[in-house]
Structure 1
């Protein structure tokens, strides 16, 4: 009888412990807000980006972009926060072709993703001051760059 009572007591404690762990895990993954991310200028268009925010953890999918040149030899994409000229890079991606005959097409390309922690002040800075710069070398070996502000709109 004592063994059955002890076993029952252990099972109740185990169930209680697992319930707490599951509850904490569920609350930890709860998305507080969802934002759309987009931007464009005369040379590039960025669309289908989004940001999810859970507590201070921010997941950013920068979406896809289109560039008005058909091809480039190499390119570097940088996403950064610009606060009065102080730039903090939060994402960089380079595409380099080593072949002299190969070029990259920059139409409907995925920019990439990142995951970072931001406190409320840093997140506000991200919302208001996010920029995308594309530096590239065209097929004639000319170096250029174009920058656009990224706009962020809250959904939830």
Structure 2
């Protein structure tokens, strides 16, 4: 008799899967780890593997969650990209890519900064204003996502 599966709080990340981002009816199991140390999951419905960080700002990053939160804290303090480079030891291009990914996942990042990091709404608004000012060449999707968390956003 096999032992029962443990609770897995991950949903399928494959857009072509019938159970894409659906909690009910999912059939996902853990299948080892990647070289980076991230857990690898397998969906039995669409027969694909995916990483636990897919769809987050951590996806395909060599930075840990704490390092990205540290960069966000420096952004809140209105440090420039080169200043953050000197403080954290990461290259300015890496920090710029993190800013781009933060903008693409603005709503998720906003919730994390407000709830987990316990920053105030004004501090988070200052960070988004800084990113918008310094990253003038954001792609269209990032601009849309950032406009949702900026003050004065209304659903139209």
TM over 0.5: no
Instruction: Report the TM-score, using the length of structure 1 for normalisation.
Output: 0.23
Higher Rg? 1
Relative contact order (alpha carbons < 8 A, sep ≥ 6): 1 or 2 greater? 1
Larger strand fraction of residues: 1
Instruction: Report the TM-score, using the length of structure 2 for normalisation.
Output: 0.23
